[in-house]
């Protein structure tokens, strides 16, 4: 057991040395003439203005979050669908139960008005900019 830990130790030391070496070499070689142009976001292109941390309309996030959850549930249904015919009635009922539970979630989201883009837009006016 101890010899195995020695392997790990050697691995850690080698890893640390490699990282230090690479960072050191790049520090030695890199040119260091940092003019204002060099430091700008796009050296030869658009001059960026404003903060990139603009607050998007919160509706985008909510819709995206709801989408993620319902989207990945498909991952569970695919394996079921592939061999669905061999599994018989019980598996069909089980998948139905699963979907019904998901529908409860959908009904909740609907009732809360989170799918309702237009009405929600009036409640939360879009894009007030970063804080």
Partner 1 sequence: MGMDKLLVIGAALFCCGLYTILTRRNAVAVLMGVELILNAANVNFVAFSHYVSRVIGGQIFAVFVIVLAAAEAAVALAIFLRLYATTGTVEVDTADELKG
Partner 2 sequence: MPLGNLASVSRFLPELAVTATILLLVAVHVVGKNRQSSASALLSLAGVGAALLLTALQPSMPAVSLFEGMVALDGFAVFFKALTALATIVVIFMSMDSAELSGKSQAEYYVFLLSVLLGMFLLSSATDLVMLYLSLELVSIPSYLLAGYLKGRKSSNEASMKYVVYGATASGVMIYGFSLLYGLTGTTQIAEIGRALATGKAALPLFLAAVMVAVGFGYKIAAVPFHMWSPDVYEGAPTPVTAFLSVGPKAAGFAVLVRFFYTVFASPDGAGGPWTLSSPVDWTLLFAVLSAATMTVGNLVAVNQKNVKRLLAYSSIAHAGYMLMGFVLLTPAGIQAILFYLVVYLFMNLGAFYVVILVANGTRSEDISDYAGLGSRAPFAAVSLAIFLFALTGIPPFSGFIGKVYLFAEVINRGVYWLAVVAALNSVVSLYYYARIVKVMFLEEPAEKAELAVPAFPRALLCLLAVPTLLLGVYWEPVIRVAANSVRLLAF
Instruction: By CB under 8 A, name the binding residues for partner 1.
Output: 58, 61, 65, 68-69, 71-73, 75-76, 79, 131
Closest CA to 109 of 72, 63, 71, 73: 63
Q: Is 92 in the site for partner 2 (CB under 8 A)?
A: no
**What is the smallest separation between the CB atom of 25 and partner 1, expressed in angstroms?**
20
**What is the smallest separation between the CB atom of 51 and partner 2, expressed in angstroms?**
22
Say how far apart CA 28 and CA 72 lie, in whole Å. 47
Say how far apart CA 91 and CA 97 lie, in whole Å. 10
Site string for partner 2, 36-75 (x = CB under 8 A): ----------------------------------------
Closest CA to 62 of 124, 129, 130, 3: 124
Q: Which does 21 bind (CB under 5 to 8 A by kind): partner 1, partner 2, none?
A: none
């Amino acid at each position: 057991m101890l010899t195995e830990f020695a392997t790990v130790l050697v691995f850690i030391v080698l890893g640390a040395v490699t990282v230090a070496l690479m960072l050191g070499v790049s520090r030695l070689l890199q040119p260091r003439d940092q003019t204002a142009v060099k430091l700008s976001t796009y050296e030869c292109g658009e001059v960026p203005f404003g903060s990139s941390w603009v607050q998007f309309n919160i509706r985008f996030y909510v819709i995206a979050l709801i989408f993620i959850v319902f989207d990945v549930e498909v991952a569970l249904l695919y394996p079921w669908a592939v061999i669905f015919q061999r599994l018989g009635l019980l598996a069909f009922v089980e998948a139905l139960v699963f979907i019904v539970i998901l529908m409860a979630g959908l009904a909740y989201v609907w009732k809360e008005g989170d799918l309702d883009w237009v009405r929600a837009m009036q409640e939360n006016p879009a894009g007030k900019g970063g804080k």
